[in-house]
Structure 1
Amino acid sequence: MIDKLNGERSVQGCYYILTGKKSGQAIQDTTLFGFQNWYGALPHLERSSFDSCVQQLKQENKVVSVDASKASYVTIQPAYYADVIQQWKSLDLAQRSGLQSTSLPATQVFTFWRRLQLWMQVCSHHINEHASFQPIVSDLESKMWVKEKWRRTQDKVEGIRRFKGALRDVFEQCTDPLFPSLCVSRLTGYGVAGRTFQQLEQLYDLPEAVLRLFWLQGARECMQHAKSHPDLQPFAKVEEGDGVLKDKHVGLTLSAFETLKYLDQGFDLQAIAYKRGLKVSTIEDHVVEIASKNPSFSVQPFLPSEVLERILNVSQKLKTKKLSVIKTELGSQVTYLQIRLALVKEAIRHVHKPIS
């Protein structure tokens, strides 16, 4: 992530993306730098742990500050870069962590997995005629979903048999043998406790954060395959949850969706801010979020084509995505909103260059 940000965002930006912070900057940079699959991937990552890792990298001289006045803006130390690339290749990190692809958001995958995990636990205890157990999932929505599906399953034994077969089919379709191994290791059943990531860290001799990203990509692949499997489709049908809507405006926060409804009615940004009791800058964040999540959303009312071209020319000429640098170059000709929209639309239009 530090390599892709290239000193143009603070290292804290990585933390906000990984934990899924619902801020305009984090959502914008997720699209701008190609981190769609990592947004919200580590929602419980402690800030102290993250800061400790960054500090260790600095002490080992593996990352360096862009300049003395901006200690939080770092890049990879050139002498260490070759080692980083070798690590990426040896572990196939780009593929296994999902960095090279854009598909299902982490929030959807987590919902799918909670359902699958709890269903497996219910089935396992039913087979062993043990009705009382402590649910592995604490999420109330997932509990209610599984409870209702179990109630509707008339032939329990046949339903369990079909589920086991479907799960086997999905695992066999995974592109990497590590994925089903990690996913199975996390499942809990009668007399069998799923392994924690700390235990997996010792087993695979890999950092916990890396294993979490690998597991997430494995669960993401499983969910993708489950969508086309008749016995697993219900698990993968995630309509809404985790504060986002999952209709044609995929991934929007509820607040951004409210702004979109006003935009569809023809209100300008100032009017929307007044009606919603929010700052205009907040509404602008929503516009950038909408543009980043919905490729068909037209930015023409905010960004005329000639302004778009001007911004992209400067960005390419200066080899930067840093808003302040582009704004300094163009001055009053453009607004920050226009720069943000131009960069986001350009990022969506092009396939991000994979790390190699």
Structure 2
Amino acid sequence: MFQYILLHCIKALKAERSLANIFYLLTGKKSTQTIQDSHLYNLTDYFGVYRSLKRVDFNNAIDNLVQKSYIVYNKQGFAQLSDAGKYHLTVQAQQYQDLHFRGMVFERMAPPFLATLILLIQTATNIFVNNYRFIPVIDNSSAQSNVKQFLKQKDLDISILLRDLYGDLYKCFTVNRLPQSSIEIFTDHITSAKEIGLSQHQLASKYIMTKEDVHCYLMNVVHLMLDESKHPDKYNVFPYIINQQSDLPVTESALATYKLYSRGHTIGEIAAYRSLKESTIQDHIIEIAYAEKVEWTRHMGTEIYNTISEVMEKTNTKQLKILKSLLPEHISYFQIKLVIALWHKPL
């Protein structure tokens, strides 16, 4: 699965960005460039899905693609798919056509949700058999606190909790027709009172895949669970163990700009107040526009907006240099980038 994600990302970037951009995308680097690129190249689903990925492991995976002749480098040094790579991606696309990643939405929720779920299952199964002295497999204070708070509910019946947990898992897996391989990897990772779950390295050995593949399989299942948790009327446990993150998926600096911007301050005023360049504030507004609706009329009239939109439709491109060359000189790069952002539906 990890190889498929890499090939998919390389194809999407169209040899216009370096491979480092993919590493930053997968690890969820909160930079204006990475966030904007994830939207520009329609890769938001993969943003932050592998926050623990090490650069050396990423480089090894890329080297493997080179050795298999799946990717080649152009004169500018940017990677692109070879004919063999295109064919392999097409084949793998059939296997992974129903992935559930929604990285830009769930990247901050996924790790704590998985940790809390694993610890809740271990704790509940041990309490059910009256074993109150066990070593938690999750050494995470936040997850431990979440589980303690959940179990403090009045009139909580452990047998009913276990029934509901099983029901949530069964419903999530069957309704969405999750492949058997994904179900087995996830359930083998779970620890109960009777059995210790397998680590990602152990799972990789058992299923003859890389540890990166295992991580992606697990995160894919978790993102599905988080997506399903939006329906509290259908699930009894999932919706109540989510560590809600309400912040916009933008950089902290852009968020600071947004607070001033939403109060009606101009770009110039915000730049002066924050001691930043106006171009930096403009980048923040573009970043915000991908995640939240902004008042674009503060930055251009309807005529300019329509002109940019018409050229984008005719050329079917979002490349800035091409668009700028085809538009009237008075239309700025900022206005073009803002329209591109506005064309994306806010998450």
- Alignment TM class, shorter chain as reference: 0.7 to 0.9
What secondary structure sits across from 1:64 in the alignment? strand
* Native 8 Å contact 2:69 2:82 kept in 1: yes
| Structure 2 unaligned regions, length at least 5 | 1-8
1:17-59, Cα deviation, whole Å (9 max, x unpaired): 1000000111112222222221100001111221232233334
2:85 alignment counterpart: 80
Q: Which amino acid aligns with 2:332?
A: T
User: TM-score with structure 1 length normalisation?
Assistant: 0.81
1:175 alignment counterpart: 177
User: TM-score with structure 2 length normalisation?
Assistant: 0.83
1:37 alignment counterpart: 45
1:200 alignment counterpart: 203
1:333-354, Cα deviation, whole Å (9 max, x unpaired): 33333232222222439xxxxx
* Native 8 Å contact 2:47 2:104 kept in 1: no
1:112-151, Cα deviation, whole Å (9 max, x unpaired): 2222111112112212333233333333322222111222
* Identity between Structure 1 and Structure 2 (%): 23
1:171-207, Cα deviation, whole Å (9 max, x unpaired): 3333323343332222122342222233333333344
* Native 8 Å contact 1:162 1:231 kept in 2: no
Structural RMSD (CA) = 2.9
* Native 8 Å contact 2:100 2:224 kept in 1: no
Q: State how 1:104-115 maps to structure 2 within 5 Å.
A: 104-115=105-116
d(CA) in 2 for partners of 1:331, 1:143: 59
Q: Which amino acid aligns with 1:175?
A: R
Return the offset for 1:254. Answer: 4.4
Q: Which amino acid aligns with 1:45?
A: L
d(CA) in 1 for partners of 2:32, 2:331: 19
d(CA) in 2 for partners of 1:81, 1:196: 33
Q: Which amino acid aligns with 1:176?
A: L
d(CA) in 2 for partners of 1:222, 1:212: 15
- CA pair 158-204 structure 1, distance change in 2 beyond 3 A: closer
d(CA) in 2 for partners of 1:65, 1:306: 41
What secondary structure sits across from 1:271 in the alignment? helix
What secondary structure sits across from 1:333 in the alignment? coil
Return the offset for 1:271. Answer: 1.6
d(CA) in 2 for partners of 1:281, 1:192: 56
1:155 alignment counterpart: 156
Return the offset for 1:319. Answer: 5.5
Matched, 1:129 2:137: no
* Native 8 Å contact 1:19 1:43 kept in 2: yes
Q: Which amino acid aligns with 1:223?
A: L
What secondary structure sits across from 1:34 in the alignment? coil
d(CA) in 2 for partners of 1:201, 1:160: 31
Matched, 1:307 2:304: yes
Aligned residues between the structures: 334
What secondary structure sits across from 2:298 in the alignment? coil
d(CA) in 1 for partners of 2:264, 2:183: 48
* Native 8 Å contact 2:105 2:249 kept in 1: no
Matched, 1:337 2:334: yes
1:71-101, Cα deviation, whole Å (9 max, x unpaired): 1x22111343122211221x2x232254xx7
- CA pair 306-107 structure 1, distance change in 2 beyond 3 A: same
1:58 alignment counterpart: 66
What secondary structure sits across from 1:251 in the alignment? coil
- CA pair 57-282 structure 1, distance change in 2 beyond 3 A: same
Q: Which amino acid aligns with 1:260?
A: Y
Return the offset for 1:216. Answer: 1.7
1:352 alignment counterpart: none
* Native 8 Å contact 1:2 1:76 kept in 2: yes
d(CA) in 2 for partners of 1:281, 1:139: 41
What secondary structure sits across from 2:268 in the alignment? helix
Candidates 214, 219, 230, aligned match of 1:216: 219
d(CA) in 2 for partners of 1:319, 1:48: 37
d(CA) in 2 for partners of 1:136, 1:275: 48
* Native 8 Å contact 2:23 2:58 kept in 1: yes
Q: State how 1:215-294 maps to structure 2 within 5 Å.
A: 215-227=218-230, 228=232, 229=234, 231-240=236-245, 245-246=246-247, 250-294=248-292
| Structure 1 unaligned regions, length at least 5 | 350-356
* Native 8 Å contact 2:289 2:342 kept in 1: yes
* Native 8 Å contact 1:118 1:135 kept in 2: yes
d(CA) in 1 for partners of 2:208, 2:342: 40
